[in-house]
Amino acid sequence: MKPTIIVHACLLLCISFISSSCNNNAAENTAGTDAAPQMNGYQLVWADEFDGNSIDTTSWNFEKGGHGWGNHEQEYYHAANASVSNGNLVITGKKENIDSSHYTSARMTTKGKQEFLYGKIEARIKIPVAQGFWPAFWMLGSNIDSVGWPVSGEIDIMEHINTDSLLFGTPHWDSAGHVMHGDTLAYTPSEYHVYAIEWDSTAIRWYLDGKQYHELNITNNAGHTEAFHKPFYILLNFALGGDWPGQQIDDTKLPAKMYIDYVRVYKKA
């Protein structure tokens, strides 16, 4: 090969490498991960890796409406604000009017389709951060329609509000009145993290990126925690405004996206 051809070939290879490297870096924050790995002592029983082109409605429901959801939230939830892209489920919060609501977002559940009693439940998520933002990954007791909340129980695996640098992990139940016993952990919320619980007949343990930061004893229904010995279903949502984050929303940060790389559920082998 002539020297000039070699030089041109080398230049093309360098340009191709740099371009590929830049594209990889640009996609790094939202690219999906590989399929679920095997985990010692656990067996994978259900997962959604969000690798297709659409949301799997055999596993997920879309909740719809703008009635505040018990927290005076300001968004209207509907399916149009959820999509699958680049190996992620993407929930988008927007400033737009539907009915009497001035914001839209999405809220998804596995109710009646994928419900679980005990196990390791985890998701890899990147959340948006701004005043009035309230993304969450959580669970509710499957019997909520018959017994109501909080008797049904609630397990908040991940909640974050506003621009705080705190992760909230909280169980809710009824012990002659609403009881909650959560904990917080300082972290960088705008990056991808793996949020998880390990739940068995003795305890619920909360984890961030594999490190435990909270535990609730439920052995023999300690503290009237019988709600946590029944099946639960999974929820993912991105609320805008509400009693907890407050009603001021930073519209300059909208539209905003919550990325969910995967949701996985393991049972002890």
Count of CB atoms situated within 10 Å of the CB of 25 = 9
Residue tagged 């879309």 (tokens): 62
pTM recorded for the entire structure: 0.88
Q: Is the pLDDT of residue 254 over 70?
A: yes
Our answer to whether residue 75 is catalytic in this structure is: no
Q: What are phi and psi of 189, to 5 degrees?
A: -70, -25
Catalytic residue among 49, 75, 154, 198: 154
β-sheet bridge partners, residue 105: 77
Name the fold adopted by 34-268.
Answer: Jelly Rolls (2.60.120)
Whether the bond into 255 is cis, omega within 30 of 0: yes
Catalytic residue among 159, 191, 198, 226: 159
Q: Mind listing the pLDDT tens digit for each residue in 152-207?
A: 999 999 999 999 999 999 999 998 789 999 999 999 999 999 999 999 999 999 99
d(CA 93, CA 240): 7
d(CA 166, CA 263): 22
Our answer to whether residue 154 is catalytic in this structure is: yes
d(CA 86, CA 27): 9
Q: Mind listing the pLDDT tens digit for each residue in 63-118?
A: 999 999 999 999 999 999 999 999 999 999 999 999 999 999 999 999 999 999 99
- Residue 24: left (phi > 0), alpha (psi -120 to 50), or beta? alpha
